[in-house]
Structure 1
Amino acid sequence: MVSSMRSAIVRVFSTKYSLTLPASALNYIEQVLTENEIPEDEWNTGLEFWAKEYLKGEDSSSLVSLSALRRAYEVLQLGTNEDADDIDPSEINVEAHFAVVDSFDMPPVRFDPVRGGFTTARSGPSLAGQASSRASYLRERWGIIKEIILRNENFTPPALGGHDRTNYLKLTSTRNLLGRAGQLFLLFGMLARDPEGRLCLEDGDGRVRLDMHDAVPGEGLFTEGCMVLIEGEYTIDETVRVLAMGHPPSEKREVSRGLHGHIDFLGTGAVSLKEEQKYLPTILANTQVSFVVLSDVWLDHPRTLPALRRMFEGYTQAAEYKPMAFVLCGNFTQRGWEGEDGLKRYTNGFNALTDLLLSLPTLLSSHFIFVPGPVDPWSSSTLPRPPLPATFTSRLTQRIPKARFVSDPCRLKYFGQEIVICRQDLMGKMMRGLVGSKQDPGVDMKRYLVQTVLDQSHLSPLPQATRPTLWEYDHALRLYPMPTALVLCDKYERYELTYEGCHVFNPGRFVSGGGGGGASDSEGGEFEWAMYYPATGRSERSALTLE
């Protein structure tokens, strides 16, 4: 049976269409034929359609790649435009279109400012990083946002001449300021400090000092490390007297996807915007699909496991509404891993959680994703943060089939949607590092935080001294193209809002309920989390009370 199946595959792909099949691709085709119980007399017909669909792909080559082969199979599942109406989207296997992406597995996609596009580096990134990476990752970040600015309608000159041609906004480089004292300029660059500790603006050509006494900041939070637009007057002492400061405009996901749909940012295969639209009926039909997100799951707290059991049992009572994935974010203990019994607390906590999940077998078809917190082992303040070590998690991963420990941040891919999960106390760090913000007593700090992060297209718009990042893994912290949803798990109070089409929410602390203080807050018995529904692109608060 196996030999005849392989012969049919080789006959169609290799002999007829001159395609070379590596072992991984050959095994995948066999797996699909076997799992779907395709009769032998239909092998050739199905393989013919599959090979033709593969050759239609933008990145098809004579050496068959597994990602392109998967994408061709997904397109065949969804059907073509002509026969899309004949397919019941609720019958498509949504599990085949779900993936968890670790930051350290993402391809090293670099931005080339000369070509104004993205390329994938030939060599993989290094944890230590080369000295040249120290400068290049900031230059890439600056270049990406500059391209977004120049595509914005306010910065694009009209195609034809006329009076309107003089009204569009023009950026000036710091290199072109010398000898032009007394004139007003619009600059774009990164807020930083010079060797004397004075605030300055850096761009791709140089640096200029800033005088902030008359500055009027716009909406958002402004810290060192932010890329900002500044309007000001260049003075005779080679300083810019800042009059106004604002964040760069953001770019909606569909615009970015239309420009860079051929780039595989996640390593799961590039999908064009046109192909992505085919997924929409399936996503809308599967309204029962949901993701549960919990933060600060303190396994050493006496009331956490009873609360988790109550929550899990609630989801097992309605099998059709069982979540596809449970995302549990750290910290996983109250006091971290240091101390005499720190490591023992972690081991006992995850062993107890394993026993709890094994007692609910109907729940084990869901995915369980664990994201480390700021004080979990062996973490540091550097991002991206590696997964929890196998020392504490081996028993759980061996017994729970769909459990996975991933980095912080990580990403979930569901059809064409991208959900970014990040566990860091970002609000506190941004507030402590403020250079300026709008002085308004009624300001909504939650909206300002969300606006800042998405306008910066980055999860950590902070300097290395405040929030170190691995230089060659900075691409894993990008928010470009803008994700479908962003989960900012923070010890700050819970919230949910939508900005430029991206739904952003903080589930709040699971243990402390209201997200306010320490463990004593949960003595009243309230525990909260969030549920995200891909069909609507929205989240909702969930909570329970222990009697």
Structure 2
Amino acid sequence: MERPINGNNSLPVKLQPSNLRPIAYRILSKKHGLNIKTDALSLLTEVVSYKYGFDWKGFQSQQFIEEIGKIWKLEDRGIFIDGPGLKQVVREINNKGESTISRSSSTEAVDATKAGRTDTIVDTEQEEQSLNWQEYFKIINPNEQTPCKFDKQRKQFSLIHGRHDKKALSDTLSNYLQSSVELFNNRYNLLYDRLSRNESFQKTSYTSISSISKTMSNLTSEITLIKNVLGRDGSKFILFGLLNKGTNDEYILEDSTDYIELNLSQTYKAEGSFYCPGMFVIVEGIYSASGGLSNTRSDYIGGCFHVSHIGHPPAERREISNENYGHVDFLGIHKQTGDKVLKINKVLRKKLVSLEKSLHGHKILMLGSECNLDNFKILDGLKKFFHRLENSIIESNNEDVPLALILTGSFSSKPLTSTSSTLASVSNSELYKGYFDDLSVIISQFPNVVEKVKFVLIPGKNDPWQSSYSLGGSNLNYLPQSSLPRLFVNRLERLLPRGNLILGWNPLRINYLSQELVILKDELISKFKRNDIIFENDLEIEKELVRLDQSPERINHIISQEQQEHVSPKIKQARKLVKTLLDQGHLQPFLKDLKLVNPDYDYALRIEPLPTILILNDVNFENFEVTYNGCKVINIARLLSPSSRKINFVEYTPSHKRFDFKELYF
């Protein structure tokens, strides 16, 4: 650390931490409510000794410690001052210039302090006026994201150390196994912490999870750990854990303490959600010491839990989660230094919100997925699209340039596969590269698009290199999926200005001032439907509806009810998808056999706290827009439907958080 300039005429002295502790306690603890750790106190003692010498008890020294307390609280660094964090704060103070604070006489010190405060106010005003939005518009891949995991002891996020450095890569298998074990534990701890803040599950509350669903009965709301139900035969409980399958193909629930077999024969589900193995659920029911398939095993003494109701852990609004976790800088607005997770202070948050509302002309364009460049109809549609975009830029005098144009794969209708023949393999690669060469030729016809538009490419399941072994299969195409190799897009890269071609991962995140956008390309609705548990009570209800539907009175009643609700089946299904995903707080809430996840980047699939915007690219679903707990979720359907000649795209205006779904006929 650079030593601060000694602004006094007095020589440095050698102090002990015990000498400075009373002053630090009076200013930092009693006045600002902060606690200074031992390593930080030692560092502060060293700085004050050198900076103020024999005047270490004087006014200037106390003003210096006062400044540290103010900056620490302003940056929301928590209540504990540690050594690395203090080193950063001292460096910030030195960079601002401490000469206005440190003077030889106390009178001059007061005047200088006033002047220093004035300078700070002026600097703040200038910073607000000169805040550059471009510094806070970032397209972030998972390997560029701040790797954080939830610490259940501190109830805060901490950095994941040694995950991607060279030393860690030498022990890849060990890291992979450790990460795989932690994957579901991290999700459980984070969701359990969220539930602990929910009013329906407070120990002092006497409502139950019936507050989530009208179908749920009234019980005590306290969640019980599985280990604590053993030996309490016939008692009612609420449990929370991972829904999984046992060795006998029976359903089980796992939490941090144990697992227990579930009997779902009389279960009523909370409507509006999917229920698949791999999801974390809340179950309500009665514990039985006997019964169940597992009790036939000599090593199992857990009994069986007869579930009466099942539901999801309700999602929490973004602002509430951020407030509880201290506005962690997950997307790297600040450059990460040291071992501490940085946070976005209140002043900067307000400035970013104010600035983004004033930038009415900003927009982001997103084309529908499956941009198959080997399809001549799609190439024709892209020509028309770029022609329209070129004219729009010219007519608006360069004021209608999108911040980014996002193209989502797969960029080939067939997977890029390797074969036993080297010649065939090379031919496949050259053919794939030729698709982007053709795209470059098209774009080159529109000089304003070439010069001004930032292109973002997100891969799909048919894109390299995963497609070489997955053969385009969704289950073998693990997430996060890395970006397209540059060797396939080098001609496009040479055509565009430097920095205007971004090879994105799947999923991808965009930081726009105060907003967080998450973009995912996956076939979620198919996986949810295919793996959704069919409860016996659901079948009974279906049979009853079929029987009742035979009567004209019943048919008229159903038609009248649907007309009153004004909700189409498509929107109902979309709401079901969105609620399930956001309640789970994860982009892939499945078991490993349903979807492969790279555990080293599992933090990039976490949507807790909720993002501002979640953009799905599911070709098996139509366009939709649904808002749940303040998070706006949209789906962008296929770029070009097989039987039409129209391009499907979306325009997003961040200042109003508005999506416009558009079609372009060609």
Q: With structure 2 as the length reference, what TM-score do the two structures score?
A: 0.66
Quick check: 1:327 aligned with 2:383? no
What is the rounded CA distance, in whole Å, between the counterparts of 1:423 and 1:15 in structure 2? Answer: 54
Give the C-alpha shift of residue 84 in structure 1.
Answer: 8.8
The SS at the match of 1:244 is strand
Q: Deviations over 1:432-471 (max 9, x none)?
A: 1112477789761111111111110100001100101111
What is the rounded CA distance, in whole Å, between the counterparts of 2:446 and 2:94 in structure 1? Answer: 36
Give the C-alpha shift of residue 63 in structure 1.
Answer: 5.4
Residues 1:369 and 1:487: Cα distance change in structure 2 (over 3 Å): same
Contact 2:76 2:326 in 1 (8 A): no
Give the C-alpha shift of residue 187 in structure 1.
Answer: 0.7
Residues 1:63 and 1:395: Cα distance change in structure 2 (over 3 Å): farther
Quick check: 1:253 aligned with 2:318? yes
Instruction: Give % identity.
Output: 27
Q: Deviations over 1:193-251 (max 9, x none)?
A: 11222111111111111111111111211111101111111123311111111110111
Q: Deviations over 1:163-183 (max 9, x none)?
A: xxx986100111111111222
Structure 1 residues 85-484: aligned runs within 5 Å: 93-125=132-164, 128=173, 129-158=175-204, 169-218=221-270, 219-235=272-288, 236-237=290-291, 238-269=303-334, 270-294=343-367, 295-316=369-390, 317=392, 318=396, 319-338=398-417, 340=424, 342-363=428-449, 364-379=451-466, 380-400=476-496, 401=498, 402-436=500-534, 444-484=572-612
What is the rounded CA distance, in whole Å, between the counterparts of 1:153 and 1:384 in structure 2? Answer: 34
Residues 1:534 and 1:229: Cα distance change in structure 2 (over 3 Å): same
Contact 1:503 1:538 in 2 (8 A): no
Superposed CA RMSD in Å reads 3.3
Residues 1:66 and 1:16: Cα distance change in structure 2 (over 3 Å): closer
Q: Read off the aligned partner of 1:187 and give its amino acid letter.
A: L
Residues 1:231 and 1:366: Cα distance change in structure 2 (over 3 Å): same
What is the rounded CA distance, in whole Å, between the counterparts of 2:365 and 2:506 in structure 1? Answer: 17
Residues 1:266 and 1:97: Cα distance change in structure 2 (over 3 Å): closer
What is the rounded CA distance, in whole Å, between the counterparts of 1:328 and 1:273 in structure 2? Answer: 35
Contact 2:148 2:158 in 1 (8 A): yes
The SS at the match of 2:600 is helix
Quick check: 1:490 aligned with 2:618? yes
Q: Which residue of 2 aligns with 1:533?
A: 653
Contact 1:419 1:483 in 2 (8 A): yes
Q: With structure 1 as the length reference, what TM-score do the two structures score?
A: 0.80
Contact 2:136 2:333 in 1 (8 A): no
What is the rounded CA distance, in whole Å, between the counterparts of 1:149 and 1:200 in structure 2? Answer: 21
Contact 1:54 1:69 in 2 (8 A): no
Residues 1:394 and 1:465: Cα distance change in structure 2 (over 3 Å): same
Contact 1:137 1:471 in 2 (8 A): yes
What is the rounded CA distance, in whole Å, between the counterparts of 1:66 and 1:411 in structure 2? Answer: 31
Give 1:501's match in structure 2, choosing from 630, 635, 641. 630
Gaps of 5+ in 2: 8-69, 78-84, 96-118, 206-217, 292-302, 335-342, 419-423, 467-475, 546-567
Give the C-alpha shift of residue 55 in structure 1.
Answer: 11
The size of the alignment, in residue pairs, is: 479
What is the rounded CA distance, in whole Å, between the counterparts of 1:356 and 1:266 in structure 2? Answer: 34
Contact 1:224 1:462 in 2 (8 A): yes
The SS at the match of 2:509 is strand
Gaps of 5+ in 1: 1-10, 18-51, 71-78, 160-165, 513-519
Q: Read off the aligned partner of 1:346 and give its amino acid letter.
A: Y
What is the rounded CA distance, in whole Å, between the counterparts of 1:288 and 1:528 in structure 2? Answer: 22
Higher helix share: 2
Give the C-alpha shift of residue 338 in structure 1.
Answer: 2.6
What is the rounded CA distance, in whole Å, between the counterparts of 2:92 and 2:314 in structure 1? Answer: 33
What is the rounded CA distance, in whole Å, between the counterparts of 2:389 and 2:531 in structure 1? Answer: 41
Q: Read off the aligned partner of 1:481 and give its amino acid letter.
A: P
Give 1 or 2 for the bigger CA radius of gyration.
Answer: 2
What is the rounded CA distance, in whole Å, between the counterparts of 1:431 and 1:67 in structure 2? Answer: 53
What is the rounded CA distance, in whole Å, between the counterparts of 1:315 and 1:65 in structure 2? Answer: 50
Q: Which moved more, 1:108-117 or 1:225-234?
A: 108-117
Contact 1:333 1:345 in 2 (8 A): no
The SS at the match of 1:222 is coil
Q: Deviations over 1:6-40 (max 9, x none)?
A: xxxxx9x97589xxxxxxxxxxxxxxxxxxxxxxx
What is the rounded CA distance, in whole Å, between the counterparts of 2:431 and 2:370 in structure 1? Answer: 15
Higher strand share: 1
What is the rounded CA distance, in whole Å, between the counterparts of 2:73 and 2:233 in structure 1? Answer: 60
Q: Which residue of 1 aligns with 2:102?
A: none
What is the rounded CA distance, in whole Å, between the counterparts of 2:614 and 2:6 in structure 1? Answer: 46
Q: Deviations over 1:455-507 (max 9, x none)?
A: 10100001100101111211010001100000111112221111111111111
Contact 2:74 2:346 in 1 (8 A): no
Contact 1:101 1:412 in 2 (8 A): yes
Residues 1:117 and 1:503: Cα distance change in structure 2 (over 3 Å): same
